[in-house]
Amino acid sequence: MKKDLPENIVEDIAIAVALENESPESKLWYVYVINLKNHPIENVLITSKGYGSKDGEQVKTSTLRHMIPLLQENSFALIEPIDEQTFGLTNEYWLSYYIGRDIYDKKFIFLPESIIESNFIKLPLLNKPGVMIK
């Protein structure tokens, strides 16, 4: 039964969209997972997808899956590049990982038009501008 399962709360883990490089013609964006914990996490699985409406039509991106065997404490790992054209969609990242034998999971959702300069912060550990959900 669901009530018998432990409530493993995800803390000190973030998903961030970082501005990597900017030129007059284009901007280069990457998505990262950031481990702000003081211990590593293992078997990190991330699925990503985008969905919503664009020009009055429903749009869905491909679902991508990523695996990171080990993410050390106070470190980060690249998940994927992200195209600026998807910023008008809902961008969803479902994260699962283990600490010992316990599994943790959480859904991180970047709402449409939330990846904008007015929401930028200096991303911890990355020291780059971007948007982060913790």
Q: Is 125 left (phi over 0), alpha (psi -120 to 50) or beta?
A: left
According to DSSP, the residues that pair with 33 across neighbouring strands are 15, 77
Give, in words, the CATH class of 17-133.
mainly beta
- DSSP-assigned states of every residue in 42-107: EEEEEEEEEEEEETTEEEEPPPEEEEEEEE-TTEEEEEEEE-GGGGGSEEEEEEEEEETTEEEEEE
**26 vs 24: CA distance, rounded Å:** 6
Q: How do the domains of the chain map onto residue ranges?
A: 17-133
Q: pLDDT class for 1, splitting at 50, 70, 90? A: low
- 58-94 pLDDT, tens digit each: 999 999 999 999 999 999 999 999 999 999 999 999 9
Cβ-count burial of 92 within 10 angstroms (0-12 exposed, 13-18 middle, 19+ buried)?
middle
Between residues 2 and 26, which one has the greater pLDDT? 26
